[in-house]
Structure 1
Amino acid sequence: MNEVQPVPTAEVSRLARAVLDAVGTVVVGKRDALELVLSGILAGGHVLLEDLPGLGKTLTARSFAQALGLDFRRLQFTPDLLPADVTGSFLYDQRKADFTFRAGPLFTNLLLADEINRTPPKTQSALLEAMQEKQVSVEGVTYRLDPPFHVLATANPIEYEGTYPLPEAQLDRFLLRVSFGYPDQEQEWDVLRRRMSRRQEESELSPVVDAATLRAMQAALEDVVVEDSIGRYIVALTAATREHASVLVGASPRGSLALLLLSRARAAMAGRDYVVPEDVKEVAVPALAHRITLRPEMWLRRVDPSFVVEEVLTATPAPASGALPSYATAGAGRTPAGHAAR
C-alpha cells in the first residue's frame, strides 16, 4: 500500500471548516457536536451518537458521508439480525460449483450502525474485529477493510425495552460519544424553513473532499506536536477517573490514547500543529465519560459519568509549558509558536 502524503495543517483546517459548513446546511445549530464527530473521523476512530429519537443522528452520519465523499452504508440493527448479516457470508455459486464470499454492509468507508443497542451481543460483537483491527474474519478467511473505515453508531439512551446494552469492551472501541440535544425554537424553525425551501424530504450534499483527501488529512495529525507536559496531563486525567470516589471502573489506557488523538484533531482543525491544554479539555467528556463504570449506589443518585469527568477536569491542574516533546527528533520538534510558558 502506498504511503499517504499528509496535507499541511492549514489545509486540514480549511477543508474541515468547509466540510462542517456543508453538513451545517442540513444539520442545523449543532456546530459543536458536529466538530466533535469530525474530530473523531479525522482521528481515525469510531463515533457513538447517543441521543433521543428525531434529533438528527442518522442525518448527521449520511451528511458527513456525502461531504467527505465516502462510500456509505446504513445497517438497521434489529433483534433478529445475525452476524453474517453484518460481515457477509459464503454462498454456493452453481455456475462455478464453489462457494463465493458475498461481502456484507461492513465493507464500506462509513457504516451507520443504526440503533446498535437493539441487536443481541453476538451480532454486536461482529463489529468488534472490524472496529479494532480493520478486518473481518468469516469461516477462517480474513478480509482487510479498505481505508478509511469508520463506524458511526446510534443508540437511544432512555428506551431499554427490547435493547441490549453495549458491553464495556465495545463501548471502549468508540473513540468518543456525542449527544446533540434538542434545538432551541429558532433553530427548530430554521429546520422547518429549510425543509420547505428544498421542496423534498432528502437533502443531498456535494462532496467537499474524497476518501484519498480524508486520508491525507488524517495523516497530517501525526505532525501535530504534543509536548511532554500535555501528554502527562492526559495521563493524569485518565488516571484520576480510576481514583474518583464515585467510580467502580475508570477509563483504561485506551482512554488516554483517545484524548491524545482527539486533541491532535482539534488542534489541526484550529490550524495549529501543536496541542494546547484547551484541546484536551474540549474532548475530555466525550472521550472518557462512556469508558467509566459508576458504583451501583451512584445510579440511585442519578450521578452521570460526565459529571465525574468534569470534576476530574476541575481538580487536575493544567500544564503551562513550552518545552519540546521528548519523542521529537532534532529538527522535527520545535517550540510551538505562541505556546510559551504561562
Structure 2
Amino acid sequence: MSLTANSPSASRPAARRRKPAGLLSELLGDRPAVLATGFLLLIVFVAILVPLIVPHDPAAQALRARLDPPAWLAGGSWSHVLGTDNLGRDVLSRIMYGARTSLSISLTVCAIASTFGIAMGLIAAYVGGRTDTILMRIVDTQLSFPDLLLALTVLTVLGSSPVTVVIILSISGWMVYARMTRGIVVSARHEGYVEAAELVGCSMPRIILRHILPNIAAPLSTLLILEFARVVLAEAALSFLGMGIQPPATSWGLDIALGKDHVFGAWWLVTFPGLAIALTILSANVLAAWARVTTDPQEREKRFARTVARRSGSKRR
C-alpha cells in the first residue's frame, strides 16, 4: 500500500520541517531576543569578514594622529570614526579584530568544555556507583577554587598565549556541564522511554546517544549560551590583567587595559571596547533567557497564560 499524506511516516518529515520555522516565528515575536540575536550575528559577521571590511590595519601607528577623538566630536575625522589611541591606531579596527579574538577563544572554550563536561556527566549518571562518586568529588573540588585565581596562577607559570588561555578556561569550565548533565540524566533514567529501551536490549551507548542526549539538549543549549557570555568576560578580564592576549595581537580586554591611563582625556579608548563586551554579554543573556522559556514546556504555558490574560483584559476594557 502506498504512503499517503495522512500516514505517520509521511507526516513525520513535515513536522521536522515545521520545527525550525516555528522556532523562528517565536523568535521574531520576541523583540529583545531579535535584537540580541541580531547583535550576535553582527559580531560573528564582523569576526569572519574582518580582513575584508576593516578600515585600517589595527597595528599601524600614526603618531601625528594620536588620541584623535571620534568623528562627531571637534577635531575628529571620518577616516577614524571611533578615534585613535595613544599610538595613533584606529580604535574601530582594533575593536573589529578584538571581536575575532574574543569569539574564536570563547567558542573554542565552549566546544571543548561542553564536550568533555557532558561526557563526564553522562558517564557519572549512567554508570553510577563509585565512578559517579569519584567524578562528582572531582567536580566539587575544582569548583572550590576561584576560576580567575586558578587561571592567573597557571598562566603565570606557563606563560600567556591564546592556546594557554583556551586550555585554562576549558579546564575551569567543564564542571558546570558535568553537574547539570548528571542531574538531568539521573532523573531521566527512570523515564518510560529509557526503561523501554533497556527492555528491548539497547546498549548503553545507544540509549545515551539516541534517547537521553536529545532530551537534554534544550537545557544544555541554554547553559552553553550562558557559558559563552562567561568566557567572553573571563578572557577580557585576563587580557586586562596582562595575562591573556598579548600585543601586537588585540582583544577587547587588552584595549581597555591600554586605554585606562587615558580614561579622563580620551574616554573613547575604554568606552567602546567596554560597550562591545557589555553588549555581547547582555545579548547572550537575553538569548539564553529566550531559549530557556521557549524550550521549557512549563514556562511556555506560563507565557501563554499571561498572553491570554492580557488579551482578555484588553477586551473587557
Structure 1 or 2: more strand by fraction: 1
Report 1 or 2 for greater relative contact order, CA contacts < 8 Å, sequence distance ≥ 6: 1
TM bucket normalised to smaller: under 0.3
Structure 1 or 2: more helix by fraction: 2
TM-score, structure 2 length as denominator?
A: 0.25
TM-score, structure 1 length as denominator?
A: 0.24
